[in-house]
Structure 1
Amino acid sequence: MFDFEYSFHWLTVWHVFPEMLSAALVTIQVAVLSMIFGLIVAIFLSLGKESENEIFRTVSVVWIELARNTPALFQIYMAYFGLGSFGIHLSPYIAVLAALSFNNAGYLAETLRGGFASIPHTQMASSRSLGMTKFQTYRYVIVPQVLRKVYHPITNQMIWALLMTSLGTLVGMLELTGKTDQLQSLSFRTFEFYLVTAVMYFVMAKIILLASRLLAYKLFKGDV
């Protein structure tokens, strides 16, 4: 039933480990960029959902609902295969980046909306009375406070984005999981390759958490 005579071949993994590290950098790059783009869009979506402008509000609600209530894999397929049906052919990298940015924006929008709701409305009136425009009030007063309140949920979303990049292998993207699939198929050392890859994901996630704590200490004097 069990093969207890299995012989491990770790050197097979070690010989191609530099390639796996390069793929890991692609994974981190996609995760970080999707978070940056997602956060920028999420700010507008969170404000749009509460907007009195019907078009702005409708677009925001539809985006958030689709992002949060459909599988991330489906969103990647739509970006890669779905758009291709209309003659819009994206590379695997761009398709995954676009899909994860879309997904992150939906989740972060709801997180930010809760942050905006926690800011007293009197702060807007006070800022405007000091001569600040509405844009300046959001930029210098409201948004910095909101980002501080939702810092930890944003960090959790970053970890999620990192792990979800693995879905890119299903559309041919050679991030860490995709490269692992490719390399292990040449040697059939499945256990060794996937175990090392799992450890690499774990280490990357822990590095992100550590970096977020250091950044929080620097930006918020350890109060977050």
Structure 2
Amino acid sequence: MNYTFHWRPAFRALPDMLWGALVTLEVAVLSMVLGVFFAVLLALASGSRFRALRAFATSWVELARNTPALFQIYMAYFGLGSLGIYLDSFPALLAGITFNNAGYLAETFRGGLRAVPPTQVRAARSLGMGPVQAFRLIVLPQMFRVVFHPLTNQMVWAILMTSLGVVVGLNNDLTGVTQDLNVKSFRSFEFFAIAAVIYYLIAKFVTGSARLMAWRLFRY
């Protein structure tokens, strides 16, 4: 080994990498918000009495869970272009990760919905609540209590999946910024080692914050 480490250029570029980390967080948070929204709808559709809704939900879940996340991002960026729908790198990455999140979370939410006893819904209806009100005030809070920790794991997975944006030309997230800095300086180990530490710290911050939230919200 005759490689000489030079950490100073990497540390000087740390502010740029931290700005890239903010873009990474932006994509991850948006994909989780959208993913949770679609996952709830898919979980409800999977239990619907309408066969078309069940088939749609099943197809989404099967595709999301049994194909690589990279292919899903490719389909959003390249595949939709074949149909005349052109997305830039950021929305394509967001669409791909959202699709993946929704597919995985739909199964998690479906299990969470089944964990809520039907008697509680009937009790809420007997108190005068409508179906939507009972679902919003009785079912959803209990479901999210059950799925909270899997939801946290999916958030960490979404953060790590944002690194795939570099393959569709996204160059302002953490991985994209790191790759650009590497191309300019050829200090691969130094830049990617710091980027790995930043990803690690973000993931640990998310899991630590989730544990604190769980302690505050679910101690009773």
TM above 0.5, one fold? yes
- Select which of 71, 83, 86 maps to 2:83: 86
> Which of 4, 7, 10 pairs up with 2:4?
7
Q: CA deviation at 1:218?
A: 2.5
Does residue 1:110 correspond to 2:70, yes or no?
no
Structure 2 letter corresponding to 1:203:
L
Q: What amino acid sits opposite 1:92 in the alignment? A: S
- Structure 1 residues 51-77: Cα deviation after superposition (integer angstroms, max 9, x where no partner): 101222121111111111111000000
Percent identity over paired residues: 53
What is the DSSP-based 3-state SS (H/G/I as helix, E as strand, rest coil) of the residue aligned with 2:103? helix
Are 1:163 and 2:160 matched, yes or no? Answer: yes
Matches within 5 A, 1:1-224: 3=1, 5-174=2-171, 175-221=173-219
Counterpart-to-counterpart distance in 1, 2:60 and 2:44: 13
Aligned length: 219
Helix, strand or coil at the partner of 2:5 = coil
Q: Distance in 2 between matches of 1:210 and 1:121?
A: 33
Cα distance in 1 for partners of 2:61, 2:130 equals 28
Which residues of structure 1 form unaligned runs of 5+?
none
Q: CA deviation at 1:43?
A: 0.6
- Cα distance in 1, alignment partners of residues 44 and 188 from structure 2: 47
TM-score, with normalisation over the residues of structure 1? 0.95
C-alpha separation in 2, matches of 1:84 and 1:60? 24
Residue 6 of structure 1: CA displacement? 2.6
Secondary structure in 2 matching 1:150: helix
The CA deviation string for residues 130-181 of structure 1, in whole angstroms up to 9 with x for no partner, is 1111111110000100000111000001111110111111001121111111
List runs of 5+ in structure 2 lacking aligned partners. Answer: none
